[in-house]
Amino acid sequence: MDKLLYEKLSNERNPRFNIITDIVERDGQKVVIKRPYNQDSKAHILKMYDCYRGLQETLQGSDFCVNETKLVGENVECQFIEGKRLQSKDTADFVEAIRKAYLPHAEEFKCTPEFEEVFGKVELPQGVLATKYLDIDLIFDNIIVTDKGWEIIDYEWTFDFPIPINYLLYRGMIFGGLTPSFVQIPDAEKPIYQKMEEHFQSEYCFKDVKNLSELKMHVASQTKTAADFTIASRDFQIKQLQELIAAKDVHIRNIEAGNTILQAKYDEIVGSKGYKAVENFRAFKAFLKREDTPARQAKRARKEEEKRKRLEAKQKKQGQAEKLPSLAVHIHLFYEDLLPEFCSYLANIPYKFDLYISLKEDGDVNAVKTKLKELKNVGVADVRKLPNRGRDLAPLYGVFASEILKHDYFLHVHSKKSLYSGSEKMGWRQYCLNLLLGSPEQINYILDLFKNDNAGLIYPDIYTEIPEIAYSWLANVELGKKLFEEYDLGDMPVVFNYPAGSFFWASTDSLRPLLEHGYTYEDFPQEAGQTDGTLAHALERVVPFITAKQGYDSYILNADGGETFKNKSLRPYMDSIKLDKELLIMKLGTYQVVSFDIFDTLIARTIYNPDDVFVMLGQIIKSKYNVDVDFLKLRKEAEATANAKYGALTTIDKIYVEVAKDKALGNFAMDIKKLEVDLETALCIPRKDMVEVYNQLKAMGKRVILVSDMYLNRVQIVGLLHKCGISYYDELLISCEVGFRKDDGSMWDMLMQNYDPKTFIHVGDNFRSDSQIPMEKCIPNHIIFNANTLLELSDFPYFKAIAKENLANSLMVGQSLSGALFNSPFAFAEDGTVNFKDIYDFGYTVIGPLLARFVEWIVTENKKNHQRLLLLSREGYMLERLIKAYCGSRGIGEPDMTYFLTSRRAVSVAALENDEDIRELASQKYKGTFSTFLKERFGVELHPEDEDVHLEYTELPDEVMEKLASYRDEILEHAKAEKNAYLVYVREAMAGASDVAVVDVGFSGTIQFFLMKLTGRDIGGHYLALHSNKPQRIGGRADAIYEITDPLMIEKSKVLRYQLFLENALAAPFGQLTHFTMENGKPQPHFKDDDYLSEDVKRLQSGILAFVSQYGSVCKQLPLEDTELCNPTVVEDLFHDIIAAGTLTERIATALQVEDSYCNDGVQKFDVKTGTWVVEYN
């Protein structure tokens, strides 16, 4: 039955909108119910629910979410939410979030009949954006910050017709505390929004209820209780008014008498200049409390009105004086016959602009200038004949740069007629021009991005006829490296978005380094029909990185009406993303001959940066030969020297001939060569899906050729292929053996002497050697993405920078991603998201690194302290397997360890001796029935005469201790019996050990704490994570990889947020220990009947074990004591961030539910939509 906690009547409005809001307690939870006040307002409740659903759909994927609501009969019900609200300091983030949420759904405002009914007939400037399901009351008071995001708790005034987005922000300034300087609403729009507000208040919401006198009469027409609630509902947070509801009739009469006295004062205020159409009812509350007087309010109102007028006049003056955007346009008009087309687009620019046009050397300047006279908004028209060199970018950055720098923003376009194929691509050119100059509204939208959204560069997304490989460096890698170094742009990505073809808008400040560089025509090569590999091709690719370095964002315009992307769009890569394994097999199956690249196509390395193989060898050399040398540098120089001598025929043997010339390494260079081959072998794993594609093609009878630019010889590569399950190929072509290479085209020339390109296709991962060069030779090819490319396209590309910090990070990140999640080139779903397709991959990628780092730490520390390790059940079962796997694959001895039977229930009951111990055990949070509480915590049954009540607490209430009083003697007697049996077992486990430590995942050291009390011994503890450190209370020693000493940081811990996944990862195939008894003089364990281990969990654990084994084998040659361990934050981020990115499917989440009867009498499941754990109670 619902218990009423609070009730508010909103019956002062137009009868159509009068509702009652109740807050009730139902089954221990607070619920908000909104119901119609009368027959007239039933439709308003139903419309409120419809708008909730529309708002919920509109805001999907944004920073906002809507409090979940249900329609129950004629009422709507939602959860009562408490928490922190946004403040004025959040204005900038709030405004950005509003725009991001609503702009994707926006359209140009049009005044509709539905709009006129609510807001009146208005005329707004062209280009004002509006959207449906705009919550006009989206102010800070109606938003609560929760784990889901910014959760909206009041959406009553949401409408299903388009309303200007800026109107919401205007109301936020007036009523919601938004800081005006961050909102930036054009002055021309503000009076219109004020007019809309007045119409909404007087002619819609409060129609026929215009002042306090009428409101009084309206209220008086209701029952006495309704009048009482009208007074009380002004603000339920004020205790005095809440108490007023329950006051006696005499109090009600006194208050009503006081209201009559205040009526005259109210009327005075109603007639004052500063009084608005709608009364401030919070002020009415203050009058009742006698905190203020009408005279003071009137005086303040006059001052505020004067202040408002002064501010309005000031803003108007500033608006009039505000400088219009200073615009420049540069057109490289190589084809003058396209000038009419460009003029038609330039006519759409609604502001004055200066126009700079570069023509070829025989261009007709006068004819061009004559045509330009048709354009009304052109200021300066600077037309020049220039050398045909450096394409469109030499004139931009070399000739007109100084002029363009005088402006705020500039547009760069050119008369492009060809793209890759050499034929005219009018559609591509017009596609770009439509997005950049298509209409005055589009141009205003672009300029608004510059003004309000930190835009520095704005350009079109991919055009359909551009191949996806264009969105990489191709033949421009070396030039790109020089530009990245010259402009200090940081790490150079493999794939990226940029304005392909160099059509873009930019702020001059965002590209200032390029404009101020001082490029000349001599910097650009002579035109010789180049299609790639020139400075111009590199410069067009570098502009988004310059923009980012300058502190600006890039915005990518979408032609099909979709969202404008910020900094990254996956559209260039969607053809590959949408192609799955089966479709690829079908595609390749149409050819008679299929060639495969080997490395990163069929085989992957479990290290992020291939050069780190040489860094790793340097550490091995130092440990094994006591020689400290920069082996990375030495090995790269040796390879360069060998390449200069032997070209494509360079082998690893010839490289190590050069290595042997180093005095420090000469005597054992050949040993190091073997170490390198062994290390390559240890690092290599198959790309399973690609090997399956390979095998399917072989089964179809296709001729399969393996091709590689590689210095390893045939025997070595065959060994790698065999390890990865790749065999029965028809040809193996290795550059160092045949003397031809893919990356210079000679391999393709050689192959096409024997094969018809009509029946031949190549598959590889390198955009240049595996795709662009074959494409130039008319050889069909297909690009598949390697793991590093997939990482760059994902929602967590920052792991690339983390992996490059040091060798340890490179090993951990490289194996995590190459080994499972991005082992397959088909990792992305059709919608561009990344999901684990197999629970094995989830265990390998996410949990494997975390537990590998934990096991590595345990083993490394044990080599120093030589403790006996008690691996606490049940997690200790899997930890023991992991430690054995790690030590076995790494070739080192195992620690002195034993699987130790225990549980919180078993050890804590055995350690009970007095009332304080009972309180300590009961004080841990609990939610469930009293009978389960007694059984799980103390091992006793509920007395028949006692009620099995529901308990829920985080801090122990006195009522629980009172209930436990009648069980005290039974609990202590039961504990004494269990203690005797358990002590015998514990002493046997610790026999012969001088120093003992427990090993567990965490998280407060409860079992160690009770073991110390039980045995009286000093027992250490090693944990993955520790936040309470109970053993410390009694002088115990406990450490952890993740030790949280500040209680406020517990909720921020990434490990603790998703720690329940570790319950499954470390589950054991037998039940949880409950207690020991003595039978025939021996301690006998007793277990719960929960020994079932699902096939899904077994497969999860297989993935974790595989990661740890592979990691151990790769680290085998590294010295255990002196090796730098991976930073714990890296594996914590891998664990948390990949889950938080929404990679789990519903099927995997369902398979990993967790039971916890000790603290919760129910089952915990992971909600993939919210990314949180939820409890389903038994």
Task: Specify the pLDDT at position 502.
Answer: 95
Tokens of 1165: 């499941």
Annotate 240-292 with DSSP letters as a single string: HHHHHHT--HHHHHHHHHHHHHHHHHHHHHHTSTT--SS--HHHHHHHHTTS-
Query: CA torsion angle for 517, 520, 522, 525 (degrees, to 10)?
Result: 80
- How far is Cα of residue 954 from the mean position of the Cα atoms in its chain? 31
964: amino acid identity, one letter: L
Task: Specify the pLDDT at position 213.
Answer: 40
Tokens 């209430």 map to which residue?
Answer: 957
User: Are 36 and 42 contacting, i.e. CB atoms less than 8 angstroms apart?
Assistant: yes
Task: Specify the pLDDT at position 222.
Answer: 35
Task: Specify the pLDDT at position 315.
Answer: 62
Task: Specify the pLDDT at position 1051.
Answer: 86
Task: Specify the pLDDT at position 322.
Answer: 59
Question: Which option is the CATH number for 327-569: 3.90.180.10, 3.40.50.1820, 3.90.550.10, 3.40.50.300?
Answer: 3.90.550.10
Go through 552-573 and write b for each residue having 16 or more CB atoms within 10 A of its CB, e for each that does not.
bbbbbbbbeeeebbeeebbbbb
Residue range 607-643, pLDDT digits in tens: 999 999 999 999 999 999 999 999 999 999 999 999 9
Query: CA torsion angle for 873, 879, 880, 881 (degrees, to 10)?
Result: 130
CA distance 792 to 803: 12
Tokens of 914: 């007095």
User: Are 968 and 903 contacting, i.e. CB atoms less than 8 angstroms apart?
Assistant: no
Task: Specify the pLDDT at position 250.
Answer: 46
CA-based nearest residue to 961, from 1008, 917, 1027 = 917
Residue range 562-599, pLDDT digits in tens: 689 999 999 999 999 999 999 999 999 999 999 999 99
User: Are 862 and 951 contacting, i.e. CB atoms less than 8 angstroms apart?
Assistant: no
CA-based nearest residue to 276, from 124, 180, 174 = 174
Number of CB atoms found within 10 A of residue 74's CB: 11
Tokens 């307002």 map to which residue?
Answer: 41
CA distance 848 to 695: 29
Residue range 442-499, pLDDT digits in tens: 999 999 999 999 999 999 999 988 999 999 999 999 999 999 999 999 999 999 999 9
Which one-letter DSSP state was computed for residue 359? E
Sign of CA pseudo-dihedral 429, 430, 436, 437: positive
Taken as a whole, the chain contains a residue count of: 1178
Tokens of 946: 């006692």
Residues of the chain predicted below pLDDT 70: 1, 181, 209-299, 313-322, 417-426, 560-562, 1156-1161, 1177-1178
Tokens of 889: 């694959």
Task: Specify the pLDDT at position 317.
Answer: 55
Task: Specify the pLDDT at position 807.
Answer: 95
Q: How far apart are the first and last CA of the chain?
A: 20
